[in-house]
Amino acid sequence: MNLIEIWHYHRPELAKIYLDTLNAGLVTSTTIFAPRRAGKTSFLLKDLAPAAETLGYTVVYIDLWQTKFSPGVSIVRALERALEPKNSVESLFAKLHTPIKKLKAKAEIAGTKLEGELELSDVGKKVPTEIALQIDVLIDALCKKKPVLLLIDEAQELAKTKEHEAVATALRTSITRNQNRLRVVFTGSSRTQLAHVFSNSNAPLYSTGSAIADFPQLNRDFVVYIAEKFEQATGRKLPIELAFEAFVSFKQQPEPFLVGIVDMVLNPSVTLDDAMQAVSLKLAQTENHEGAWSALDATQKALVRMLAEDSSLKPFSKTVVLRLRTIIGVESLEVTHVQRAMSKLANIVFKSPRDTYEFENEAFAQWVRTLAD
């Protein structure tokens, strides 16, 4: 029994806000940012997609982590599935669970013939031709039938390589040409990488994703809802305030919190504190925080600790440089050394539009905060 799926906390009001914005006609797409495990995908599939289908949209969900080396394959596969007749649920289910070895184009779609198979090992070489053509033709075919809503999860993958950018360019062409019948919601878990896709003037989807907006966090109402489900399932009460504190400790990310709750449901002897500590430990082991930490030098470690405690830190200020000298015991440390250290931390922390420093992986920041002096 998958309690994470069964206990989904629906957010119909939020789904309506996104759809109203897209339907108003001022923008054709929007981009949602949230760190991993924040519930973006569940929201897309269980709230936004059903609401859009009720309004008459054909909804196409695209997970760019499915085949990370080639987002084009993920896009084409999802678009092809959307065009398949829905007369055999079991057949579709089987196809979804069949490993992809070849990408086979439709023999004829919307009057255009696309024949042959594309080996995945050759995808990188053929992105500008076969993949781009298929994306273009498939979107055209879908839009001729009904309005289409594309949900593109982890869109930052579109900026990883030149081949990926070629896919993004093809996608942008289709979005522009079908703007009367096509709406798009992009999501991503790295604000910095999303900027490389949408915000920079030379980005492949520059301005296409509209402004990058933060995904609204779940709050106390979510914890109350889970506590009610917990009591219904077990007959035991979940202490609301302590549960909310635990939820906040995970930066209000539902997935790790729910993993702990599942443990408590299945093991009545496990306390809330024990369950949440076990989840924290598992996250640290899974994400190899110790390995990432050990790869840093003394200056980088000191900076990461300081930034984890104070996101508004000014790392190049005289005060911080003096503090770093004391921490690492190097009196000759200068601003240029700090600048080099910060540049090497680019995959760990980034400067937000709010002039504060944020961690690419908040779980790592939380782990750093627990380190003993």
- Reduce the secondary structure of the chain to three states and give it as a string: CCHHHHCCCCCHHHHHHHHHHHHCCCCCEEEEECCCCCCHHHHHHHHHHHHHHHCCCEEEEEECCCCCCCHHHHHHHHHHHHHCCCCCHHHHHHHHCCCCCEEECCCEECCEECCCEEEHHHHHHHHHHHHHHHHHHHHHHHHHHCCEEEEEECHHHHHCCHHHHHHHHHHHHHHHHCCCCEEEEEEECCHHHHHHHHCCCCCCCCCCCCCEEECCCCCHHHHHHHHHHHHHHHCCCCCHHHHHHHHHHCCCCHHHHHHHHHHHHHCCCCCHHHHHHHHHHHHHHHCCHHHHHHCCCHHHHHHHHHHHHCCCCCCCCHHHHHHHHHHHCCCCCCHHHHHHHHHCCCCCEEECCCCCEEECCHHHHHHHHCCCC
d(CA 257, CA 229): 14
Q: Quick one: average pLDDT of 313-332?
A: 96
Residue 113 lies in a domain: yes
Residue 83 lies in a domain: yes
Residue 35 lies in a domain: yes
d(CA 366, CA 332): 31
Mark whether 192 and 236 lie in a shared domain.
no
Residue length of the chain: 373
Question: For 191-227, what is each residue's pLDDT tens digit?
Answer: 777 877 887 667 778 767 567 888 999 999 999 999 9
Q: Which range has the worst mean pLDDT, 54-58, 266-270, 289-293, 358-362? A: 358-362
Mark whether 117 and 174 lie in a shared domain.
yes
Q: Choose the final residue of a domain: 267, 286, 305.
A: 286
Kindly tell me the sign of the dihedral angle through the C-alpha atoms of 234, 240, 246, 248.
positive
Mark whether 123 and 194 lie in a shared domain.
yes
Residue 292 lies in a domain: no
Which residues span the domain enclosing 318?
Answer: 297-369
Mark whether 230 and 282 lie in a shared domain.
yes
Mark whether 180 and 264 lie in a shared domain.
no
pLDDT of residue 352: 67
Residue 291 lies in a domain: no
Mark whether 265 and 307 lie in a shared domain.
no
Q: Quick one: average pLDDT of 51-80?
A: 88
Residue 258 lies in a domain: yes
* The overall pTM is greater than 0.75: no
Buried-state track 10-32, b at ≥16 Cβ within 10 A, e below 16:
ebeeebeebbebbeeeebbbbbb
Q: Which range has the worst mean pLDDT, 37-41, 118-122, 193-197, 214-218? A: 118-122
pLDDT of residue 67: 65
Buried-state track 293-304, b at ≥16 Cβ within 10 A, e below 16:
beebeebbbbbb
pLDDT of residue 47: 96
Q: How many domains does the chain have?
A: 3
Q: With beta carbons less than 8 A apart as the criterion, state whether 34 and 185 touch.
A: no
Mark whether 276 and 317 lie in a shared domain.
no
User: Other C-beta atoms within 10 Å of 220: how many?
Assistant: 14
